[in-house]
Structure 1
């Protein structure tokens, strides 16, 4: 006799598990042959950025280099979490890929399995030139640059120009806000073709900084000769962009919910609040905490690049020469060889505990334990 529970029994059990105090409500999860099929779509905030072998999700080297999927990510942690559904009963598909933007989301959705119950989606940061801001305002990772640009908010500075360029892209509703419901529609069409009960859960991104004036105002994450200070004005500018991005994502989700017949199958998940007290520049943290590359760090839940040994002091030229010989692909951000180390691609991405917070918020939404 087969030991697989009949479909109708599994459906009843799932509804009981996710009952609320107001009564038993249908779960958003559709179980096929006792298995939960689900997928994760999006960019590097959906994949994480693997930077050492034990964090690699993919076994194929080319796939590791292409998409950087990491076992730190919220998607992987969800797939290993029995609170969502017994992990032995999960069939997890992971089309998300580092570097992705709106234009490839339909193609990612095509890769979902037949019978997919739901997908998660984190996307939008790569549309804006976020990495250009990080390079120009935070790290300035050019060892040959000795004439430094004015600090933010000087309008003649590279940082100011990078931030204004990102703002212009974010506030171009034709190219950004109006694209969100169209992209969601393309994903939803493909999801509903695979399962009429398909649901989509869209997240925002975390605000990277604590903005309170504190010890961080006179510190810098600059890696070489140019050391822009992490002033509260600069930190607030970064957080303001993260907040505007959040609002645009929420507006796009709300528009789809209000105007598309599949609107009830779309859900927004707020994740930034979970990073409170664990951002860069928290008042009760230290400068050394900012560079802690322990994936399970208790304090800062976002990555910096490998810390040059002279920081926070200015280097000697021989120090820089030594560093470059040990880290030939030192560029922080976009561009450069595709096989450069993940350790210089991970900055401003969550560590394991940051991604766990995201996973907890998504599971809470899925199971009805959070609004």
Structure 2
């Protein structure tokens, strides 16, 4: 899903750029068989499939080939030149290097061999475009994706119920609309109808999308001995139980009204996400097994992993809804330092903003109305600040990446490290452990409280790539279980980069990696390990302070050599 602002005169309006339907959209209109552009030709699964391919039908390779497909919860939303996935994203999908797929690609050790990753997910994707995306996944043995969020009208809901941008009319806000006359309640009802529709709704469209994926993998040149697709759930956005949030609003300087985040609204939005997830989980659970192929579909219930990190959590302030790294979902903010509220931040545009095409198959960039030059990264990030709300922040995507990798390991997917046994073909949730399962190995480290020492450095490079660190990690018995590789310190190097968009990940024998991300704003390092998240300013850590105190020395007279600044940090956490 993605949202962005469109303008008319000096006003701004929030519109959906991920093909989240408008109020007049027909929920039946996007079934592949009814696609006006007829992109997939209505191809269905063969009733009498050809014989299953043998191992020899696939070219031998040591690489683990896999892909990421789906909408902007897969692609992420690039919002700066430093966060665009690559210079070659010429489809203007806003793919970002912060997305879970890019983070999985950057994480080593979870596949038996090297990785061959295909990043096909694209902001704006409807389910009828997934088959085309499959053509961009090479000869993958595994694809992971988020599918259908744009078909579910979630963008319409956010626009009408949360932000109400100029121009309207939007009608009354949720809490002032007992008769359901406002656009907010109409969009909520439209989403509910689509999810519950017996014929032509979510259930049928999602089933057809899975059919398309498996039909594609049965074509010549695409068959593999074993193929798995994992579909991730979406995430509930709110804690719907807290009282202070009843008086808060996410309306901004461009809003025509300031809708309050009352409990019934938060609860209904959460309920729709859960209903959507439940339908997809049920389709996967009951999806027919094709005995001619070892092809399997699985479900990943990720929503609960965001517990404690949603909007309106009990331990978060109103300001935290924009600025806290402990909130894993983006709000609508002009830049990372924007603290929310109704006042227009300095430099923020009044509008109008260019309108992005909603056609993911023929999209051209309108970002050149904001940026000039040949830097494709810049050309793809101009809408990012308006497109990223209600998508995961980097820590949210990092946790999704860690969770997905662990799920693949638990399911013993062939080619995944530690998965040398045959993978179970049961669809849906992982099978329960039985007494016949092998005993769990004892951890290869002393559990309890692990600690690490960080030497953090800042040099005179641009702010996007001037933070580095080297780390020594010890277990409960003070045995060293990880150290920054010597090659990262050779030839005057300061360690591994920890910049936003190019963070460090360490692991050693721990069951999950530790993500280390330096933040210039408020001068701290963000750490995450499993479900834990903390900063170098928290009680878990102690800071020695920068030396020199004012940071790196970058200017001087003749013969001057720049001097980097160093900060020493010690942290402990349960392991």
Is TM (by shorter chain) over 0.5? yes
- Aligned pairs for 1:168-183 (under 5 A) are 168-175=193-200, 176-183=202-209
Could you tell me how far apart the structure 2 residues matched to 1:31 and 1:271 are?
34
Give 1:134's aligned residue. Answer: 158
Give 2:243's aligned residue. Answer: 214
Could you tell me how far apart the structure 2 residues matched to 1:228 and 1:305 are?
14
- Aligned pairs for 1:1-371 (under 5 A) are 32-60=60-88, 62-63=90-91, 66-85=92-111, 89-114=114-139, 116-142=140-166, 144-145=167-168, 149-152=172-175, 154=178, 155-175=180-200, 176-192=202-218, 193-223=222-252, 224-256=255-287, 258-261=288-291, 265-292=296-323, 298-306=325-333, 311-312=340-341, 323-325=348-350, 328-329=352-353, 338-339=366-367, 341-368=383-410, 371=430
Could you tell me how far apart the structure 1 residues matched to 2:339 and 2:404 are?
40
Q: 3-state SS of the aligned residue for 1:265?
A: strand
Cα pair 1:150 1:156 within 8 Å, conserved: no
After superposition, give the CA deviation of every residue in 1:170-196 in whole Å (9 maximum; x if it has no partner). Answer: 111322202222211221232353312
After superposition, give the CA deviation of every residue in 1:144-173 in whole Å (9 maximum; x if it has no partner). Answer: 559852324531222111111111111113
Cα pair 1:135 1:141 within 8 Å, conserved: yes
Q: 3-state SS of the aligned residue for 1:365?
A: helix
- Greater shift, 303-312 or 192-201, is seen at 303-312
After superposition, give the CA deviation of every residue in 1:78-97 in whole Å (9 maximum; x if it has no partner). Answer: 111124227x8111011111
Could you tell me how far apart the structure 1 residues matched to 2:347 and 2:171 are?
22
Could you tell me how far apart the structure 2 residues matched to 1:113 and 1:147 are?
45
Q: 3-state SS of the aligned residue for 1:164?
A: helix
Cα pair 2:225 2:294 within 8 Å, conserved: no
Could you tell me how far apart the structure 2 residues matched to 1:200 and 1:146 are?
42
CA distance 1:221–1:244, shift in 2 (3 Å): same
Could you tell me how far apart the structure 1 residues matched to 2:193 and 2:129 are?
22
Could you tell me how far apart the structure 1 residues matched to 2:111 and 2:197 are?
40
Could you tell me how far apart the structure 2 residues matched to 1:344 and 1:310 are?
15
Could you tell me how far apart the structure 2 residues matched to 1:79 and 1:32 are?
21
Cα pair 1:31 1:37 within 8 Å, conserved: no
Please provide the CA RMSD for this pair: 3.0
Could you tell me how far apart the structure 2 residues matched to 1:79 and 1:129 are?
30
CA distance 1:218–1:330, shift in 2 (3 Å): farther
Q: Which sections of structure 2, spanning at least 5 residues, go unmatched?
A: 1-57, 360-364, 368-381, 412-428, 431-575
Q: 3-state SS of the aligned residue for 2:312?
A: coil
Give 1:6's aligned residue. Answer: none
Which structure exhibits the higher relative contact order, with contacts defined as CA atoms closer than 8 Å and separated by 6 or more residues? Answer: 1
Could you tell me how far apart the structure 2 residues matched to 1:321 and 1:202 are?
41
After superposition, give the CA deviation of every residue in 1:233-265 in whole Å (9 maximum; x if it has no partner). Answer: 110111001000100110111121x45435861
Cα pair 1:37 1:90 within 8 Å, conserved: yes
Could you tell me how far apart the structure 1 residues matched to 2:384 and 2:265 are?
26
Could you tell me how far apart the structure 2 residues matched to 1:202 and 1:148 are?
36
Cα pair 2:162 2:251 within 8 Å, conserved: yes
CA distance 1:311–1:121, shift in 2 (3 Å): closer
CA distance 1:148–1:172, shift in 2 (3 Å): closer
Could you tell me how far apart the structure 2 residues matched to 1:31 and 1:275 are?
40
CA distance 1:147–1:42, shift in 2 (3 Å): closer
The TM-score, its normalising length taken from structure 1, stands at 0.79
Cα pair 2:333 2:339 within 8 Å, conserved: no
Could you tell me how far apart the structure 1 residues matched to 2:315 and 2:59 are?
46
After superposition, give the CA deviation of every residue in 1:85-110 in whole Å (9 maximum; x if it has no partner). Answer: 27x81110111111101101111112
Cα pair 1:138 1:228 within 8 Å, conserved: yes
Aligned length: 327
Q: Which sections of structure 1, spanning at least 5 residues, go unmatched?
A: 1-29
Q: Which has the larger radius of gyration?
A: 2
- Greater shift, 32-41 or 172-181, is seen at 172-181
Cα pair 2:310 2:327 within 8 Å, conserved: yes
CA distance 1:307–1:330, shift in 2 (3 Å): farther
Deviation at 1:273, TM superposition (A): 1.0
